[in-house]
Amino acid sequence: MNFKMKLIAVALATAGLTACGGGSSNSTPAPTPAPAPAPTPAPTNSAPTDITLSNASVNENAAGAQIGTLSAVDANSGDTFTFAVDNDLFAVSGNTLSLAANRAVNFEAATSHTVNVTVTDNSGAAFSKAMTINVTDRLDYDFASKVTDATSSTNYSGQTARQAQIAQLNHYIANTLQGEINATNGPLRTRQDVINKLYSFFHLNSENSDTTATDGLNQTYALYAYSQSNTPNLGANLPVTFEANAEQKTIGAISSSHKDLRGKLAGNDASRMHKPWNDGTSFVGWPGATTPTNLVAELFKQLADNAEAQLNGTIRRDEATNTAITKVYVNTNGTDLKQLIQKFLLMGVNFSQGTDDYLDEGIATDRDNVTARSDNSTALEHGYDEGFGYFGAARDYTEYTDDEIASKGGRDNYQGEHDTDGNGTINLLSEINFSASVNAAKRDRGSASNPNPTNFTKDAIEAFIAGRALIRSVTGQLSAEQQTTLVGHRNVAVGAWEKAIAATVIHYINDVTSDLGKSGTADYSFEDVAKHFSEMKGFSIGLQFNPNSPLSDAQFAQIQNLMGTQPVLLAHGSTDMTAVNAYLAGLRTARDVMQTAYSFDATNVENW
């Protein structure tokens, strides 16, 4: 059955093949060839039709800041684009819009800027669009003039000059004085040479007539003429070397008019002082030095005496360990003249002038707030600025963290200073944090992990800015209500300033307590005792200069008596800690008095 089926299948297949062969005869016509395709027309280029920007705002005072990414809208998907701007305030790199290098914007001068952006595709077709870039206000201490069209009316160059003079004197004592004494045939060969040099930072010659002066201890000293070509400001060319990258290389480049420390030390500019500091009784805290100026003379005298001893070959030894002293500014009794001089000047000049002059009578109702001064401010605005200048904060202080202000962490280019305008140098008038503004950050850091941390930096700068903004906003003299508001801002700013200093005094009370507790052990450091005591004493003695201090005169005198003018040391060879422990108990009492007066948190006081 199956065999028969296979035969039938083969027969059918053969028949089919025969049929196909018959269909391929030569009589079949040839196929018609397909027509050639029409040529593709060349593509038509379309110009871009729009430009977008990913972000349209920029922070003020940020030189060269990146703004956003530019994009083009174009029907041609494969095009590439080039962007350009017509305003030299701006720059484009690739598709990134930025402020031009070294250019910054100021919110107070203009809240926005317009720039025409042009995009060109790879075929040369272009499109332009005006774009508005908004300026973000960053809470800085800089204010446009309200009496002229100037972009800034903020000026405290004289105060910055004195900040720099104190810093320069301290830099010299710390880094140069010892070397000049050690040098064979160096510039300091006698005690008189040293006295002359120290006074050259403190009392700058402003006239050609006098070449010498005499201090309250009858020490005669030369008046240095740093420049004969800047009469009457012969101190104008005092070099600035404490900041290696300073834009201003001399004191005269900071302030063109004569500035020195002696003229503004408490008592010497008596026009607005709440006490007559030079009367022989008002100045408290250093028996034997009856005026602030005489205390400076006494400290200079001690430093010159130490230098003379070294020049004569005398080896000075500390009273605690009998170890030879190698630093000319360290006394045998456990005091550090570098620290005492610097800290007292920061208080006797800066704190005194700031709190007892410019931010007291300097903002009184009789201060003119109408007439334009040469610096485009009013007298009231300028007086307030001068007070801020003695606090020492950079104008963009709010841009820093406490770690950065204190140079203890954060961004590398914000370590106590920042090149805000991007010109490659540090402008001492605006881009560096001096003195009290740094102490405020240090104490905030010291309480940051505690249950009730302080915020001296924020309290001070926000109040300073609010007060200055209020003055600028008022056309004419302030009303009684506005004056009350201004005084309130002043109270907060000065209160934070003083609390930062008081907290710093407590910090050094704690350090001295720890240092002296190691007396007679291998961990004891005489230099640490001297440094910390002198910072404690130098700062604390200046707290008397604020007329609005929460510390009463009686409390202040008690604290100074407990501190003394030198620490109580465990004498070399002795093991009797009785006197040292009694002194430490007194320091604890002084700390308690300050804690109460300033309403400080107990945990902060323990840990500062």
> Cis omega before residue 232 (within 30°)?
yes
Q: What is the pLDDT of residue 140?
A: 92
Q: What is the pLDDT of residue 63?
A: 80
| CB atoms inside a 10 Å sphere around CB 578 | 10
Q: What is the pLDDT of residue 254?
A: 96
167 versus 16: the higher-pLDDT residue is: 167
Reported as a single tens digit per residue, the pLDDT across 61-80 is: 788 899 999 999 998 888 99
Q: What is the pLDDT of residue 223?
A: 85
Q: How confident is the model at residue 227 (pLDDT cuts 50, 70, 90)?
A: low
Quick check: 7 pLDDT over 80? no
Q: Is 132 exposed, middle or buried (0-12, 13-18, 19+ CB in 10 A)?
A: exposed
Query: Do residues 400 and 415 lie in contact, with contact meaning Cβ atoms separated by under 8 Å?
Result: no
What mean pLDDT comes out for the span 580-586?
Answer: 99
Closest CA to 383 of 403, 402, 400, 362: 362
Mean pLDDT is lowest, of 137-146, 319-328, 474-483, for: 137-146
| Mean pLDDT score of the chain | 92
Q: How confident is the model at residue 21 (pLDDT cuts 50, 70, 90)?
A: very low
Quick check: 407 pLDDT over 90? yes
Q: What is the pLDDT of residue 9?
A: 39
Quick check: 24 pLDDT over 70? no
| CATH code given to domain 50-136 | 2.60.40.60
35 versus 512: the higher-pLDDT residue is: 512
Q: How confident is the model at residue 232 (pLDDT cuts 50, 70, 90)?
A: low
Q: What is the pLDDT of residue 28?
A: 61
Q: What is the pLDDT of residue 209?
A: 63
Rounded to 5 degrees, what are φ and ψ at 34? -70, 145
236 versus 51: the higher-pLDDT residue is: 51
What mean pLDDT comes out for the span 268-273?
Answer: 87
Query: Do residues 496 and 465 lie in contact, with contact meaning Cβ atoms separated by under 8 Å?
Result: no
Q: How confident is the model at residue 228 (pLDDT cuts 50, 70, 90)?
A: low
Q: How confident is the model at residue 339 (pLDDT cuts 50, 70, 90)?
A: very high
d(C-alpha 318, C-alpha 508), whole Å: 21
Q: What is the pLDDT of residue 4?
A: 40
Query: Do residues 73 and 48 lie in contact, with contact meaning Cβ atoms separated by under 8 Å?
Result: yes
What mean pLDDT comes out for the span 414-441?
Answer: 97
What mean pLDDT comes out for the span 319-334?
Answer: 98
Quick check: 231 pLDDT over 60? no
What mean pLDDT comes out for the span 460-468?
Answer: 98
Mean pLDDT is lowest, of 232-241, 538-547, 589-598, for: 232-241
DSSP string, 95-160: TEEEEPTT----TTT-SEEEEEEEEEETTS-EEEEEEEEEEEP---S----SSSS-S-----HHHH
Q: How confident is the model at residue 16 (pLDDT cuts 50, 70, 90)?
A: very low
d(C-alpha 160, C-alpha 557), whole Å: 31
Q: What is the pLDDT of residue 158?
A: 96
Mean pLDDT is lowest, of 36-50, 81-95, 295-309, for: 36-50
Quick check: 567 pLDDT over 70? yes
Q: What is the pTM for the complete model shown?
A: 0.84
Reported as a single tens digit per residue, the pLDDT across 129-146 is: 999 999 988 789 999 999
For residues 517-543, b (16+ Cβ closer than 10 Å) or e, as one string? Answer: eebbeeebebbbbbbbbbbbbbbbbbb
d(C-alpha 71, C-alpha 86), whole Å: 17
Query: Do residues 284 and 292 lie in contact, with contact meaning Cβ atoms separated by under 8 Å?
Result: no
Domain boundaries, the chain: 50-136, 157-607
Q: What is the pLDDT of residue 257?
A: 87
Reported as a single tens digit per residue, the pLDDT across 482-501 is: 999 999 999 999 999 999 99
Q: What is the pLDDT of residue 236?
A: 81
Q: How confident is the model at residue 271 (pLDDT cuts 50, 70, 90)?
A: confident
Q: How confident is the model at residue 446 (pLDDT cuts 50, 70, 90)?
A: very high
Q: How confident is the model at residue 247 (pLDDT cuts 50, 70, 90)?
A: very high
Q: What is the pLDDT of residue 60?
A: 85
